[in-house]
Homo-oligomer: A and B are copies of this chain.
Amino acid sequence: MQKLLNQPGSYVDETLDGILLAHGDILRRVDDEPRAIVRRDAGTRTKVAIVTGGGSGHLPLFLGYVGEGLADGCAVGNLFASPSAQQMLAVMRAVSTGAGVLQLYGNYSGDRLNFDIAARMAGAEGIESTTALGADDVASAPPDSRVDRRGVAGIAFAYKTAGAAAEEGGSLVEVTEIAQRTLTRTRSMGVALAPCVLPTVGEPNFEVEPGFMELGMGIHGEPGVSRGRLKPADSVVDEMWEAVIGDFDDSLKESVAVLVNGLGATPSEELYIMYRRVAQRAEASGLRIVLSHVGEYATSLEMVGASISVLALDDDLERLLRAPARFWPSRFLRT
């Protein structure tokens, strides 16, 4: 395990310590819940609050999306495991200002069970909440079972649009509608070329032999749609692009936002090689890429691979995507 860590068991907490030390001007811990982290200014201004959370090992997911113009708080689980309902409730309490709370997270059963429990507990305390689930991975279920799909990198779009809608003063219903509209209009697909190792487990959770790849693999190594020989990047992108675009209904008009996401160890050079092909394909399909993002938005430790996400824009979503936001994972030389 070629990793820079101390005890595997303290991996998550030490990561959080480092994040809070580096970004203490943006983030703070909730008292007595070290895994419940909120915006430094959480709870001070009346607005709809957005809470998120999930397993660790996916930075910048989920905590990276806590910041001005994005989410307000995050419950942080162990590696690849949901945080607890108590931790989620602590986040909800800390961010709630009476305008309601949107739970925005990925469609995994552990997270759903716990967020649902947290919502019930919060409701008992008078905190109203709604839910929007990222379920963008087209490889994880056929179109007629869309609600069963897992959430991958595409949720980044929803943090941005819903975050902007909340910042603008939208009501809980409005912010929820924006989040759900964004998620409903987002499709993603990934490809894995090599696994990662959970430090607490100490061995890879799946195998991809050298020279092979798995198309459609999820960010925890959930199996994809096909395993085969590693092909040239353009062919890989073509297959992913066709699966993603082919899955859209008539919501896909002219304008799209695109995210080419690295899973951890794939160099950004290769993400741009992929983006090049995506841009070619979009142009050939008469699609206009209005916003593009190439980098790491949802990783799986040092997994090798990438994913492509497409959001079918409408005017509202485009405007909200362009709103200002403070994304601490990409700060550069500025406080």
**Which residues of A approach B to under 8 Å, CB–CB?**
1-7, 11-12, 14-19, 21-22, 56-57, 59-60, 156-157, 160, 191, 193-194, 196, 208, 210, 213, 230, 232-234, 236, 257, 264-276, 279, 291-296, 299, 301-302, 304-306, 321-325, 327, 329-335
Known interface pairs A210-B2, A264-B265, A267-B301; A279-B18 also in contact (CB < 8 Å) = yes
Inter-chain contact A299/B15, CB cutoff 8 Å: no
How many copies of this kind of chain does the complex include? 2
A305 to B4, CA, bound (A): 8
Inter-chain contact A301/B269, CB cutoff 8 Å: yes
**A4-B266, A7-B232 known; 8 other A-B pairs, CB under 8 Å?**
A11-B269, A14-B273, A21-B275, A21-B276, A56-B269, A157-B333, A160-B332, A295-B329
Inter-chain contact B59/A265, CB cutoff 8 Å: no
User: Which of B5, B157, B266, B269 meets A233, CB within 8 Å?
Assistant: B5
Inter-chain contact A321/B333, CB cutoff 8 Å: yes
Q: Closest chain B residue to A305 by CB distance?
A: B4
- Complex contacts, A6 vs chain B, CB 8 Å: 232-234, 273
A265 to B4, CA, bound (A): 11
Known interface pairs A5-B232, A22-B292, A273-B14; A334-B322 also in contact (CB < 8 Å) = yes
- Complex contacts, A14 vs chain B, CB 8 Å: 233, 272-273, 276
Q: Closest chain B residue to A193 by CB distance?
A: B2
Q: Closest chain B residue to A280 by CB distance?
A: B21
Inter-chain contact A291/B4, CB cutoff 8 Å: no
